Structures are given as structure tokens and as C-alpha cells.
Amino acid sequence: MAQFVVILVHSTSHAIQAERLLKRAGLAVKLIPTPRHLSSDCGSAVRIVAGDRARGERVLNEAGVPIDRIEPLDE
Amino acid sequence: MIYLDNAATSWPKPDTVHEAMLGYMRDVGANPGRSGHRLANEAERIRLDAREAIAELFGVKDPMRVVFAYNATTALNLAICGLLPPGAHAVTTGMEHNAVMRPLRALEQQGVLLSVVPCEPDGTLDPQALDEHIRPVTRLIVANHASNVCGTVLPIHELGALARQHGIPFLVDTAQTGGCWPIDLRADNIDLLAFSGHKGLLGPTGTGGLAIHDDFDIDRLPALVCGGTGSRSEHEQQPDFLPDKYEGGTPNIVGLAGLAASVRYVLDRGVDRICEHERSLTRRLIDDLSSIAGLRLIGTRDARRQTAAVSFTIDGQSVSEIARELDERFGIMCRPGLHCAPRAHRTLGTLPEGTVRLSPGAFSTAQEIDQTVEAVARLAGAE
């Protein structure tokens, strides 16, 4: 199983918002450039630990942050 | 030097505003949204700080529903031009600034129908008077929250309830009230709230925007400016989501750094306390000016019903001459004339000459008011 998941959102505004919300919820978060194999977008995505996926998703849904996709990510 | 032109732009700004702008220029400098590097992300964090602060100030749940523009005028144009196709009808008031009147008049040339609801000679409006102008094709009600000429506050809560009852979008120009008068977008049923960043919000010029009600469907409102956003770069069409839909082009990020700091200052000091401070200065100004012979105060003359914009004329004297004398002889800065609001001056009966407007702000003092009244009294007595 992958160690991390990457959360793809609409834009960098949402990535920074997601980073802030997840940090406030106590999750380990890292902003990464959106992996090119996952999206042609030029902005940032949010990486969290795979085990935090459900919690992270819940935090973002509650705040109304639209999630494009969540994908496993090995590093 | 006494600065009483805060209704045009507030000055001075809190020190934290200078520091935030300098900090961005010196230590960050990057373009938010365009790259994933650390400085671009830092710039985006600054922009989010500004969004969150504005959302908190106006009671918007989702900070992404705060979109930035270069001033309240651009935000008003976005809303007005987007909601009114030819044949649609708009209702506005007899107290508007040209930031509202000019886009409406321009649209009238393209077949938009317009009703301007008359206000009382002191600038007040009976909300029921507006109700009578609503038609089946009415697509927008737009009103300022307070007059930039004489500070008269319009009953936006009642107007919002009326708009909601008819299912018509309600746009409010809060250029004169943001940061110094309580506003709650949801409680007041405001669909679209245009704000100026550089007046009562105490930020730098070149900042402003539109706060959008959480329930307002943005599919109803096309973008006014399309361009690069850093998102969906593979598409040649403008993104359809917020905030990117309305934020094409590189933002004024140094301005937003200042705005984030200034709105934080306003929130920390408290809108109610700033409002009370300005009210006490307004009351002092009204009370003391009204004892000067030959001086005519414009508007409600009631500090509870107006913001800190006090307009007057003096019998037999030119308003521009009064302003020039105040500046040159007494170091007092104010604004004479029509204040970009000919419609409001028509309502107030002060066309074509206009008025002298004294507008204290969050950092003005009672002593400055007293010195100003003394100077005005000397000018009035000089005739």
C-alpha cells in the first residue's frame, strides 16, 4: 500500500486552503507540485499520509473544499 | 496637518499594513497560483489570509466566495454587467455613486431598463417606495449602503428582505461602510457585496472585491475579465469555479498583503468600536458646525443614521474656495464638489455647486475635529 495520498483540487487557492484546514485539524500535510502523471495542471496539490485519507476527506468536505481526485502516491 | 478625506481613501493606515506590504515585496515577491514553489505558495497563503479576513468581516462562510478586484468599482461592474442582459430591468436609488450609475447608464444604451427610486432630500429611503418599482423583468436591485456625499445610511436589511421576497439578486455597494459599520451578508440577505479595500477596511488602494452569498448560484454571473488563473491551464475557457472564475490575470498581491493585515486590524479593534469612535466624531462635527451662521449641513444631521461623511455649504461662498482655504491656511484636507455622485447631489438639492465634505476616519481625533470647526467658523465669518 502507498505511504501517501495526494489530494488534487481545482486550483492553488484550494490547495493552500486545504493545507491550512488539514493542518488546523492536526494532520501532517505537505504541498507538492501537482504530479504530471496525475494531472496536466500547473499548480500545487496536497499530500497527506495514506492512513489520514478518510479524516482528511471529511475535513475538506465539511469546509466545502471541492476535491477533484485522491490518488495513492509512493515516494 | 489634518486629514479629513477618509471617504475618498483612508489615511493613515495601521503600521501592520506597511509591514505586511514591505514583507511581501522583500521576502516573497512571487505570483500566487502560477507555480508550486515555496514563494508562490507563500504568496497564495497571503491571498488566503486576505480572503479569510474579509469572509469573517462580512459573514461569508466559504472564503473562496470572496473574489478580489482592483476596487469596489470593478466589483460593481462585474455584478451589474453580468446580471443585466438587454431587456432586463434594474432598480437602484437616487443616492448612488457613479460606480453604480455609470455602468447602469451604459447598459441602458444597450437596452437595459432602469428605475431610479427617488430618495428624501436628506438622502433617506423608504424601502416600500422601492417595492413599487419592481417588475416581472427586474433582474437586479442595487443600492449603496451609505452615501459617499453625506453618509446617509440606506435600510439595506429591509431592501434585502424585499429582494429575497421577490427572488431578485441584491447587490450592495459597501464602499462607505465596510469596516466602520456592521454588515452581515447573510442576515441582510445580500447576494453580492462589493467592497473597497482602501477606505474603511484601511488597506492600500488597488484593492477591493466582491463577497458572494453562499447560496448565490455563480452560473448566473459570467466573468467580466477572462485570463490566466494558474488553474485548468489546458483549457482555453475561463474556469467555472470560485475564486478563479472572476480572478483572471495576476492579482495585486502586494495590495492583498496590506489588505490582509488591515482587515485583521479592523477585526481586532472591532467594527463596533470603530463605528462608535467615528460616530462620536461625526456627532461632534454636526453639533459644532450647526452653530455656525450661514452654514448649511446636508443630510440627516443625525450621527446615528449616517457614516462619518459630513457635507456642508456656506452661503455665498464657493465650495472649492473653502476647501482650498482649509488646505492652504489651516492644513486641513477635505473634498469639495460633486464627489463622483451627481445623482446623490441632485437628491440632496446641492447641484451644480456640490458641497464641502469632511470625512474623519478610524484614526481621527476629537482635537482635530475641534480645530477644523474653528477653521470653518473663521472662513464663514470672513464674508
Total structural domains within chain B: 2
- Dihedral pair phi/psi, residue B254, rounded to 5°: -65, -35
Q: What are the chain A neighbours of B229 within 8 Å (beta carbons)?
A: 11
Residue B229 and residue B216 share a domain: yes
Concatenated DSSP letters of B41-66: HHHHHHHHHHHHHHHHHHT-S-GGGE
Enclosing domain of residue B353: 2-10+270-381
What's the whole-number mean pLDDT along residues B304-330?
A: 97
Q: Where are the alpha helices (DSSP H) in chain B?
A: 15-23, 38-58, 72-83, 98-108, 127-131, 156-166, 253-269, 271-289, 319-330, 342-348, 366-381
With both helix axes pointing from N to C terminus, report the angle between B253-269 and B38-58 in degrees, rounded to the nearest 10. 40
Residue B336 and residue B205 share a domain: no
Evaluated on CA atoms B72, B77, B78, B82, the torsion sign reads positive
Tens of pLDDT, residue by residue over A42-66, are 688 999 999 999 999 999 999 999 9
Catalytic residue among B81, B150, B180, B340: B340
Chain A CB within 8 Å of residue B40 CB = yes
Size of interface A-B (CB pairs under 8 A): 80
Chain A CB within 8 Å of residue B33 CB = yes
Contact A42 B233 (CB under 8 A): yes
ipTM of this predicted structure: 0.89
Residue found by looking up cell 437616487 in the block: B94
Residue B110 and residue B21 share a domain: yes
Residue B181 and residue B114 share a domain: yes
State the CATH number of the domain containing residue B284.
Answer: 3.90.1150.10
Asked if pLDDT for residue B383 goes beyond 50, the answer is no
Contact B233 A31 (CB under 8 A): no
Residue B284 and residue B252 share a domain: no
Q: Which of B245, B269, B293 is the last residue of a domain?
A: B269
d(CA B296, CA B70): 36
d(CA B246, CA B69): 8
Q: What are the chain A neighbours of B239 within 8 Å (beta carbons)?
A: 10-11
Tens of pLDDT, residue by residue over B1-28, are 999 999 999 999 999 999 999 999 999 9
Query: Considering only residues 231 to 290 of chain B, which have any Cβ-Cβ distance to chain A shorter than 8 Å?
Result: 231-234, 239, 241, 243-244
Asked if pLDDT for residue B241 goes beyond 80, the answer is yes
Residue B222 and residue B153 share a domain: yes
Residue B113 and residue B257 share a domain: yes
Interface list for chain A against chain B, based on CB atoms closer than 8 Å: 10-17, 20, 31-34, 40-45, 63-66
Q: What are the chain B neighbours of A45 within 8 Å (beta carbons)?
A: 36
Total structural domains within chain A: 1
State the CATH number of the domain containing residue A14.
Answer: 3.30.70.1530
Rounded to the nearest integer, the mean pLDDT of chain B is 97
Q: Are B221 and B53 in contact (CB under 8 A)?
A: no
Instruction: Quote the pTM value.
Output: 0.96
What's the whole-number mean pLDDT along residues B81-92?
A: 98
Strand, coil or helix: A18: helix
B275 carries an active-site annotation = no
Q: Which of B254, B269, B284 is the last residue of a domain?
A: B269
Residue B110 and residue B161 share a domain: yes
Integer angstrom CA distances of residue B256 from B3, B10, B98, B129? 24, 16, 25, 39
How far is A1 from chain B, CA to nearest CA, in Å? Answer: 26
DSSP state of B100: H
Residue B292 and residue B255 share a domain: no
Q: What are the chain A neighbours of B62 within 8 Å (beta carbons)?
A: 63-64
Residue B281 and residue B237 share a domain: no
State the CATH number of the domain containing residue B37.
Answer: 3.40.640.10
Integer angstrom CA distances of residue B166 from B58, B133, B135, B143, B144? 23, 12, 10, 16, 19
- pLDDT reported for residue B382: 62
- pLDDT reported for residue A1: 72
Residue B205 and residue B298 share a domain: no
Percent of chain A with pLDDT over 70: 95
Lowest-confidence pick of A34-38, B13-17, B159-163, B304-308: A34-38
What's the whole-number mean pLDDT along residues B93-101?
A: 98
Interface test with A, best of B37, B38, B46, B48 (most A CBs within 10 A): B48
Residue B224 and residue B179 share a domain: yes
What's the whole-number mean pLDDT along residues B198-218?
A: 98
- pLDDT reported for residue B29: 95
Enclosing domain of residue A52: 4-73
